[in-house]
Structure 1
């Protein structure tokens, strides 16, 4: 039994030395690395870049189109021309006339310019719609970042909780080891029985197992955080366990302005603007289209000689300008249907906005109540730790004087251990509840960590 305990003690001590040398990863550094390297944020950033390209002048339809065309034709003919019934000056039948390998070439090239001067304002509203699409994509990227930050801090604070629990369990193990030594000394001097030693050794074993399990959970949580930060999974680090809560007055101000900053509400408003432009784009089908065209061409024709004409080279340069007007007076009702559907889609978006506003209001109220409840629990757990510390210290004194049993002492130790771990859990639960509230108010990315 002693060999097992010694092995466990050496193992836990070695792990502690490794962790003590780990560099500190602050919350600010974790956020910075996530913003730079997180996979989801990188994808969201690329989506914003695509939307930015789409809203540019090159995708607006306002620029003319210019195209170049060119062609070349080549032909070679062998022909025989007969003159039936015809005679020459001598009165003899006119001989056949043969043309062999008669070559002809044709080369053409042209530049063609097309420009839409007016398209019923559909181009204008489509351009504005693309601007709104860019804003919507930016908000979607912001939502991705906020969700990633919540995930980041959920894991970060889990690491902090397990790190503090680790220290608590290390202290519990040290106390149990010290009790084992005292029991062994007392047994040697005939002051207690072997049972006290066995009880102490059982407690050492249990505390060692709890410590090892906590350290395994801590290693797993650190790998989870490294995955979020997109870095080496086994990179060693320590985290900051200090927590600061936002002032209640500041939180209330954020809640009062939540409708202006909540990302879900802002996305619905952008969708409303897009649907409004869709209606105007559909209405543009009732208006005429005016276009301008222009072209410049160069042609070269090289014809072969024939029986009656010599070969010729014909070069032609052409410049043409034109304007066109088209007005679809009736398209079978397609435009009318598109307008009706666009209006219905706009109405649906208005309904959705009302729903989102109500849901956000509910979520904020729930989140605020949860935050206050968890913060109160944390304050209670802080006092509970103080109470249990006092109880444990007095129990240790009584145990050393032989006035209470080892079982009673162990119970006081377990009560303190539970109080400390519960306080750690309550602290980080309260902070995560605050972060969830800050996200709903739209302030998660604007507050100090």
Structure 2
């Protein structure tokens, strides 16, 4: 990601150095850079890191534990005893005591509780990894949509510019014909009005472009008004098959098998089921083994040796926990039921998302085909109307109506083009495919 961020930085530096042309930014570069700066991705990454840390903590409980302790105690006086009939005293303990201990302990985990806890933590870590991947894919789709919005706005500005140029040219023709005595004053007035309307439309389209660029710059962590030069991926020349019911069913099956949300929901269910087994070990016996070495610098009657080694094997067997384990098992089973419901809801949502995305792609394909046909017809009609008007066999209103229809057809073709690209991106996200064409 740092290399992609460098590309953005070089582009900004080049502009600051006097180069007014921004470095072209591809869709792939925009996606990778946006991932780096996305707050949602950072939060998901933090949750994944935390899940891995919890896994490490649970795994460490199964390993031997080594500890060192040191203590020094000062009593108010020595402890002495005397025997009957004797005037001498015997020192039982001095007025100070020091102890150094090195302890090696190991929980033998005969109930397999620690192993199951570590296994559950591993499942949760894997689920967090899939949720991170889901967040990244959502961010990639968002960036792709915003990227296409900029390209769409740029094309709309070009259409508005072309329309304004056509209306200005038409106004010039109307003025020339009027001055030549073969035109009408109303035509020149109408032409001026249409030029003003086209100028207003151009301003509106330019504002839309500025807004779209600001949205993309925001995702790339750049100044909102920084210039952008995007690379239009265009439409694929390859003829794609129609997405009929069988194809949609295959895509749904693919999504349920690959989508990170479905995988995370499945793993969450496994982790919940593991929780039931863990809860059942609440009143199981436990065995601990420890080996310790103690040193007492100051010996006494209580601690007559300076170096003492001890081997301990401890057994704990709960007799009654007041029903705590039983309720914990009930809670864990309720968690399994909730995980099953979430998994079912996730799978249904994915199926519906894929179904709708596939239908949207088919709709936008047909819409683009219709828009291309309409654009061809509108271009021919505009040319014919212009020729008829210049030959004084057609009305000026025919030209303006034809120009209006041509502008609308051009705008509709632009809209359909990028709606299809966006629909394809949504379908790719729905089945967890790469978004780059």
CA distance in 2, matches of 1:269, 1:297: 51
Report deviation, 1:326: 0.7
Unaligned runs of 5+ in 2: 1-17, 78-93
Cα distance, 1:202 vs structure 2:
1.7
1:29 aligned onto 2:20: no
CA–CA distance in 2 between the matches of 1:255 and 1:448?
21
User: Residue in 2 aligned with 1:97?
Assistant: none
417 and 197 in structure 1: CA distance in 2 versus 1, 3 angstrom threshold: same
Q: Structure 1 residue 340: deviation in Å?
A: 2.5
Residues 1:335 and 2:303 are matched in the alignment: no
Q: Deviations over 1:176-217 (max 9, x none)?
A: 121222233333333334433322222222111211111111
- Return the TM-score normalized by structure 1: 0.80
Distance 1:354 1:105, change over 3 A: closer
TM-aligned CA deviation for residue 74 of structure 1:
4.8
Q: After superposition, where does 1:222-237 map in structure 2 within 5 Å?
A: 222-237=213-228
Partner SS for 2:297: strand
The correspondence for 1:296, drawn from 269, 293, 318, is 293
Contact 1:104 1:302 in 2 (8 A): no
Partner of residue 170 from structure 2, selected from 176, 179, 198: 179
Q: Secondary structure at the match of 2:306?
A: strand
Matched residue SS, 1:23: coil
Tell me how far apart the structure 2 counterparts of residues 151 and 448 of structure 1 sit (CA, whole Å).
13
Contact 1:105 1:302 in 2 (8 A): no
In terms of Rg, which structure is larger?
1
8 Å CA contact retained: 2:48, 2:125 = yes
Deviation per CA, 1:63-92: give whole Å up to 9, x if none: 233332223345788xxxxxxxxxxxxxxx
TM-score (structure 2 length as normaliser) = 0.82
Instruction: State yes or no: 1:421 paired with 2:382.
Output: no
How far apart, CA to CA, are the structure 2 residues paired with 1:24 and 1:398? 44
**One of 201, 212, 218 as aligned partner of 1:221:** 212
- What residue in structure 1 maps to residue 368 of structure 2? 378
- 1:197-252 deviation digits (Å, cap 9, x = unpaired): 32222222211121111111111111111111223322211223343368337965
Structure richer in strand, relative to its length: 1
Q: 1:439 Cα shift?
A: 2.1
SS at match of 1:110: strand
Task: Provide the alpha-carbon RMSD of the alignment.
Answer: 2.8
SS at match of 1:442: coil
Change beyond 3 A, Cα 1:22–1:259: same
- Cα deviation, 1:312-331, whole Å, max 9, x if unaligned, reads x9883332220101111332
Alpha-carbon distance in 2 for matches of 1:302, 1:331: 43
Give the alignment partner of residue 345 of structure 2, picking from 355, 367, 370. Answer: 355
Aligned to 1:248: 241
Alignment equivalent of 1:322, drawn from 312, 329, 335: 312
Secondary structure in structure 2 of the residue aligned to 1:238:
coil
Does structure 2 retain, via aligned residues, the 8 Å contact 1:290–1:324? yes
Deviation per CA, 1:300-323: give whole Å up to 9, x if none. Answer: 3499xxxxxxxxx98833322201
| Alignment-derived partner of residue 84 in structure 1 | none
- The CA deviation at 1:389 is 0.7
Task: State the number of aligned residues.
Answer: 396
Task: Please report how far the alpha carbon of residue 372 of structure 1 lies from its aligned counterpart in structure 2 after TM superposition.
Answer: 1.1
Task: Single out whichever of 44-53 and 407-416 deviates more from structure 2.
Answer: 44-53
Which residue of structure 1 aligns with residue 275 of structure 2? 278
Contact 2:28–2:436 at 8 Å: present in 1 too?
no
What is aligned with 1:400? Answer: 390
Between 1:149-158 and 1:341-350, the stretch displaced more is 341-350
**C-alpha contact (below 8 Å) 1:183/1:197 kept by paired residues:** yes
